[in-house]
């Protein structure tokens, strides 16, 4: 292979790599949706205050349940990883 053909092959490879990275950029996953709690309107009535408080409590309970479900998923993953290491036991053969 001559020097001229080696340079041409190198340039072609560089262009192909550039095109691949230009047309297929890495995309990060979208951020998780943020749940915003809107404060209640201030009406000055006790009944509205109590209902707003109960509404906030139920919203917080939903958030707490979602967080507990996330921790359960993490526990399942760690158990699967732990079990994967135990798949082959050489002393059994």
Three state DSSP letters for the chain: CCHHHHHHHHHHHHHHHHHHHHHCCCCCCCCCCCCCCCCCCCCCCHHHHHHHHHHHHHHHHHHHHHHHHHHHHHHHHHHHHHHHHCCCCHHHC
Chain mean pLDDT for the chain: 78
pTM value?
A: 0.37
Q: Residues 33-64: pLDDT tens digits?
A: 776 767 767 788 888 888 888 888 888 898 88
pLDDT beyond 70 at 30: yes
């Amino acid at each position: 292979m001559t020097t001229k053909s080696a340079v041409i092959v190198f340039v072609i490879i560089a262009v192909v790599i550039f095109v691949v990275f230009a047309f297929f950029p890495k995309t990060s996953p979208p951020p998780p949706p943020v749940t915003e709690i809107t404060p209640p309107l201030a009406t000055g009535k006790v009944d509205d205050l109590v209902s707003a408080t109960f509404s906030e409590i139920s919203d917080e309970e939903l958030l707490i349940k979602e967080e507990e479900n996330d921790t359960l998923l993490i526990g399942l993953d760690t158990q699967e990883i732990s079990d994967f290491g135990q798949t082959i036991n050489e002393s059994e053969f």
